[in-house]
Structure 1
Amino acid sequence: MNTLPLEYQSLKAVFLYMDPNVRFEISHRLPTISSTEKVVPLRIEELDLGDLTTSVNQTSYKLGIFRDYKEEEKITWRAQRYNDFGGLPRDLDRFGFEIFPGHNVLDPGDVSLPCPYSLVRQVERDTVHIERMHKTRLKFYQDVLKTRLGSEDVEISDREGEDAILERYYMSLPINELERHIGEIHEDLQPFECRRFNLKPPFVCYIMLTITSKSHKETSLMPYNMKLHEAMKALNNFLFGGRRQSIQVQKLQLSINGTILRLPVGFKIEAEQLKGVYNLAMRNDAIISMLDKKSFPLKSVSFFAEDKRDFQFFDFGKTTSFTAMDVNPEIDLFSILKTLSNERVNLSFYDPDFGIGEYLGLVQNWIENERPIGTCYSFGIEEDTARQILKLVKTHVEGAKRSKRCVSIPIRNSARLELYYIPMKCLNDSEQEEFMYDYDWVLKMRIVRF
């Protein structure tokens, strides 16, 4: 059967409606049409950016260090686990010590995502003190194992205190787990021996790329001739670099821990939603730098509210709707809510220390300060608390009319304020997603037309 290649305009039309991950694969396999693919706007439903992982829709691209052990060497359980699940997420030097060469490197295009803590501690792992600590632990585990195997040369004491508790814990472990701990400490000590005698480690390092989707997982190994942060830069350059237009993204998510996103120069996103953002106040400038001005106002933002400054993101019309999850009880939340102009707000907090009087104050604020029709705030809540709030509002607000689960208050000729609660299950799936905790009820406060 004769086949004709797609013409340029037809190819562009096909690319526009093609899954982005298929586009990436085609560009990789057929470099001759890569330039055409870059011209066509890239549309992504969900984009998640991390330090060594980029996820596009349901497909993740993850980098790590794969250690290929020599045939005569036994790989430890820990090293095998890293190999099986994407590789070691840290660079290694020529002796096998973990190093962090890209920790503070900020190249053109990169975006720093600060946070008050780091999930990966950047500590020295090659000091004499660390080696002594490993040797002490090794002797401890070996003594426990000998005792478990019935050796008369070693005796575990019956003294009290933390050491005794630790001893009893490891005495209760299965033999194979003790042997695993011993193997892992031998692995920790190996770089010290290699450095001491100028030896090579018993493995060869490769950069491993793991591509995982719902239906399959594939890995590929590349020579370890660059650091992980350089490899991540190259990966994101391949995926997103050289595009003439901003990348259109429905939902954008960012790494939880502090990191540097290795992005192409000129990287821009035209986003609709930000999902599950941590440390929003600290990351405000970084987020804004990635977003095309056409993104604003964003359709919605959901974030974990640790600091009152996190709410400042919404002072300048950056979004019409937001969800604050796990609100810190020390935040004067209701004072903040009285100053916001967002159309829709969802509040999800666990075991909050807010009195029902706070809700009454918010109702009174809305009566005194006219809110646009369509404004709606939602709170995850317990049924008994919701019932008390409605009773309080009915008692203290003139003109309030109460039904079973609703209080209605006329606020001007054409509008009324409604305060009501409904079962969580009555919300659609997307609305339920906005609440982090498994509430049974939702209290809604909204302005509607008569």
Structure 2
Amino acid sequence: MKNQPVLYDSLKTILHHMDANVRINMSIRMPSIRAIEKAVPLKMRCLSFSDTTVKINDVCYELNVYRDYPNGDVLPAGNDFDRFGFEIPFGSSPLLPGDVSFRNGDEQVVRTDTDELEERHQTKLARCKIILQFIAQQEPGVTLQWKDVWMDWMSDYVGITKKRLQGMENHAREKLKPFLCRRHNLPRPFNCYIQLSVKKNGEAKFLQRLTYTRKLYESVKQFNHILFANRPAIRVKNPVFIENHVYRIPVGFKMSANELTVRVLQIASIATMIEDVNRLRVSEGGNTENWWQHRFVKSAKELIIHDTLSAEESCLMLRTFESRIIRFHNLIPLTTEENCELIESWMSVKREVGSELWIGLDNKKRRKNVPKMMQSRMEVIRRDERNGAQSEASTVNKLQNRWQNRLEVFQKDQKDEKSVRLRSKSGTQIEICGEVCEDETMRHRLKVKIIEN
């Protein structure tokens, strides 16, 4: 029986339902299908990057530099090396076209080739030798005591085992070799190569070994280019963004996210690679002016915000957002008057019917006072008194039919809650009601919903 080739459309359908890692491995091993594979939208549950890794779902791909010594020892290093063998810190590597930096900007790049560091290694080596020599003399019949050789610096080495001291001695000696190579213009005392490994369920598997003809960050860039370049759509259910790393992604890399959690300081970097997001959670984390003006923030379908903003900034922010659902909790308590201004600011922009604004409040009193003040500022259309189980079934049924089962706001602590329907001067009608929720950071809150424009 002859094997029948898979038709183009059939292959696209098969690829569409495959796990992202299976697709990527097929594309690497079978160049003939690479163009078709990249034409099909790539979907994954989770995606994260670091300086040396990319994690797709539960599989992590990692590139590392290894040192290969003449005696046969092979040791992982992680960092790049210069021609004498000095480690090159990640923080000093340059940004390439397309790279996205999540470096904080205030971290210090620690050099490994300074005179002060050489002196420190020499001191440690000398001290380890002295203590190891003393230990070696502790043979039967020898009366030499610590007090006979004691120096103040020895207190730092009390309790350290002989094996550990030998390791410290070897480490100091190894760190001094690049200084010797630089002093005599010698090549580094080991060869390097880059290894690509894949990790899953705690187990690492070797995939490929590359000659050290380019720096590690350049190899990571090339690997990510193979995985993600020229893809029209990358859809991620839950991207994870790690701070203090550079994402070596291809030029033009874009993805859409179902749910995304970010800190304010990350938004400017994330905005360069996010096309759209369904649910966006933003938490405080540094003073970043007007972070809410980024396109992907304004257009998120559902927006959840925890931040410390002034009342004026909060009003400006709410006018900017286009999201259908906004859940806003200002960690700085606002007055009843300021919370009313938030609602009016949100209403000042025409929104589609069904749009919702949830405002977190710091106490029960404001949860009751804000609706009362709003009634004095707008025309009252209807008031619904609610007393938990005493609510008439007919009223509940009417609301259920009218609001299409969206009665979750009355599920907890229904006693003495009110639903108030109001109309602004522009004709927009809203419904306001309070709720007690289990989230202690937003225990009391109000829900404002556009009923009619």
2:391 is the alignment partner of 1:375: no
Letter in 2 for 1:301: L
2:234 counterpart residue number: 247
Residue 196 of structure 1: aligned partner? 183
CA shift for structure 1 position 389: 4.6
> What secondary structure is seen at the aligned counterpart in 2 of 1:423?
coil
Are positions 1:338 and 2:315 aligned together? yes
Matches within 5 A, 1:27-426: 27-71=27-71, 83=76, 87-88=77-78, 90-99=79-88, 103=92, 105-108=94-97, 110-113=98-101, 115-117=103-105, 121-142=108-129, 154-157=149-152, 168=155, 170-199=157-186, 201-214=188-201, 216-220=203-207, 221-243=209-231, 245-257=232-244, 259=246, 261-277=247-263, 279-280=265-266, 282-283=268-269, 287-292=270-275, 295=276, 298-305=277-284, 306-309=286-289, 311-313=291-293, 317-324=298-305, 327=307, 331-339=308-316, 340=318, 341=321, 342-346=323-327, 354-355=332-333, 358=334, 360-366=336-342, 368-369=344-345, 371=347, 373-377=354-358, 379=360, 386-387=363-364, 389-390=366-367, 404=413, 407-408=417-418, 410-412=420-422, 415-424=430-439
Deviation of 1:239 after TM superposition, in Å, equals 0.4
Query: For the Cα contact (< 8 Å) 2:102–2:243, is it kept in 1?
Result: no
Q: Are the equivalent residues in 2 in contact too, given 1:279–1:310 (CA < 8 A)?
A: no
Deviation at 1:268, TM superposition (A): 2.9
Cα 1:397–1:249 change in 2 (3 A) is: closer
Cα distance in 2, alignment partners of residues 177 and 102 from structure 1:
30
Cα offset for 1:122? 3.0
- Write the letter of the residue equivalent to 1:226: R
Partner-residue secondary structure (3-state), 2:83? coil
Name the counterpart of 2:403: none
- In the alignment, is the contact (CA less than 8 A) between 2:358 and 2:448 conserved in 1? no
- 1:125: how far off? 1.9
CA distance in 2, matches of 1:236, 1:362: 48
Contact 1:254/1:277 (8 A) holds in 2: no
What TM-score, normalized to structure 2?
0.72
CA offset digits 1:163-194 (Å, max 9, x no partner): 7xxx6454244554444433332222121123
Task: Assess, with a 3 A threshold, how the Cα gap between structure 1 residues 195 and 226 changes in structure 2: closer, same or farther.
Answer: same
Alignment identity in percent?
Answer: 24
Match of residue 19 from structure 2: 19
Whole-Å Cα distance in 2 between the matches of residues 367 and 124 of structure 1? 53
How many angstroms does 1:92 deviate by?
0.8
TM-aligned CA distance change 1:367 to 1:307, over 3 Å: closer
CA RMSD of aligned residues (A): 3.8
Mapped partners of 2:127, 2:365: distance in 1? 59
Structure 1: distance between partners of 2:290 and 2:122: 46
Greater Rg, structure 1 or structure 2? Answer: 2
> Secondary structure of 1:322's match?
strand
Are the structure 2 counterparts of residues 28 and 215 from structure 1 closer, same or farther at C-alpha, using a change threshold of 3 Å?
A: farther
Unaligned runs of 5+ in 1: 158-162, 425-438
Aligned partner of residue 14 in structure 1, secondary structure? helix
2:141 aligned residue = none
Q: Cα deviation per residue 1:419-438 (whole Å; 9 max; x = unaligned)? A: 322224xxxxxxxxxxxxxx
- Tell whether the 8 Å contact from 1:408 to 1:416 is kept in structure 2 after alignment: no
Unmatched 5+ residue regions in structure 2?
139-144, 377-382, 388-412, 424-428
- CA spacing shift, 1:422–1:268, aligned 2, 3 Å: closer
Give the whole-Å Cα distance in 1 for the aligned partners of 2:187 and 2:11. 51
Aligned residues of 1:118 and 1:258 also touching (Cα < 8 A): no
The TM-score normalised by the length of structure 1 is 0.72
Paired residues in the alignment total 393
Q: In 2 relative to 1, CA 127–8 (structure 1 residues): closer, same or farther, beyond 3 Å?
A: same
Structure 1 counterpart of 2:313, one-letter code:
I
C-alpha displacement of 1:53? 1.8
Tell me which amino acid in the other structure corresponds to 1:43.
Answer: K
Structure 2 vs 1, CA of residues 360 and 202 (structure 1 numbering), >3 Å: closer, same or farther?
same
Classify the secondary structure of the residue corresponding to 2:230.
coil
